[in-house]
Structure 1
Amino acid sequence: MIDKVRFHLRNMKPLDVVIIIILLVASFIPHIVYGYQLSSIDEDARIIATVKISGEEVYRVELSEDTPQEEFRLEPRDGQYNIIEVDGTRIRNREDNSPDQLGVRRGWISQPGETAVVLPHQLIIEIHAENQDGQEIHEEEDIIIPM
């Protein structure tokens, strides 16, 4: 094992190290952009959760401390169901009958930009921020980072 590591270290060139460092630093760029977008949301902005099935919005709620705890059932198709739970400032897919349970395992979401997806049911729960006029803040901006 140690011989293999020594072999790879001997065969590395100085440019390899530079490339590895650049890729490592670049891997943090999405986290920095997401953090910047969250910090630029006004305090008076409303946090909105939408539930869509096959791209059609079927439920919409403002997530705030005043939002009551609520639970409801959606049936995208015959034999499929999702139980959605809203609890104040957060929302989740509490239960469904999809085979992989990825939407359930995602858990609670509450921050703009977060999503929970159940692909077999074509169900998407999205969180976004709106200003007081009802216009979405940071409406799907494309960010291009030159390298």
Structure 2
Amino acid sequence: MNMKEFIKNSRLKPWDGVIVLVLIVSSFLPIILFSMQQTAESAVVEKRAILRVDGEEIKTFDLIEGQETFTYLYEDDDGDSNLIEIQGDRIRIKEADCGDQICVRRGWASKNGETIVCLPHKLVIEIQTADGSDMDDLIY
């Protein structure tokens, strides 16, 4: 049986192959659109770190990937101090004159909801997304 006879005896019409191909390609469309949406959302959402002492908001730091590293020295009226370092989209307490140094050993914080606490100085640094969403809580 040659190809012409096979095509002639086949129940497939000429456009059936095109329709099948379109259906296969369109079945992957939701995956492509969802991944593009996730990429766009993660690029837009910015984070910030809020510095609070004894419950009072003192300063807010924008955490933007790629920004230069800088430090901020917090000193209270009693002479207690914490040296805070911001590097791109993460933050840490680099130096503190408290006795236990737990806040220094805590290291870097960068995810939404993470906190750094210095109990002797009543200092808390909390990471939040700038728009209030729970971006880092999503499972990919």
Match of 1:127 in 2: 127
- Map 1:1-147 → 2, pairs under 5 A: 42-43=41-42, 44-131=44-131, 136-138=132-134
> Structure 2 CA distance, aligned partners of 1:77 and 1:102?
22
Could you say what secondary structure the match of 1:67 adopts? coil
1:58 shift after superposition: 1.4
> What is the aligned residue count?
94
Counterpart residue type for residue 71 of structure 1: T
Contact 1:51 1:126 in 2 (8 A): yes
Counterpart residue type for residue 129 of structure 1: T
1:62 shift after superposition: 1.6
TM-score (norm 1): 0.59
Deviations 1:84-111 (A, max 9, x none): 0111111000000111111000001100
> Structure 2 CA distance, aligned partners of 1:76 and 1:58?
11
Deviations 1:45-104 (A, max 9, x none): 211111111111111122112432111211123131100011111100000011111100
Match of 1:10 in 2: none
> Structure 1 CA distance, aligned partners of 2:92 and 2:46?
18
Deviations 1:19-50 (A, max 9, x none): xxxxxxxxxxxxxxxxxxxx9xx412211111
Deviations 1:103-122 (A, max 9, x none): 00000110001100001101
What percent identity do the matched residue pairs reach? 38
More displaced 10-residue stretch of structure 1: 71-80 or 97-106:
71-80
> Structure 1 CA distance, aligned partners of 2:50 and 2:133?
15
Q: Which has the larger radius of gyration?
A: 2
> Structure 2 CA distance, aligned partners of 1:77 and 1:123?
13
Contact 1:73 1:84 in 2 (8 A): yes
Could you say what secondary structure the match of 2:120 adopts? helix
TM-score (norm 2): 0.62
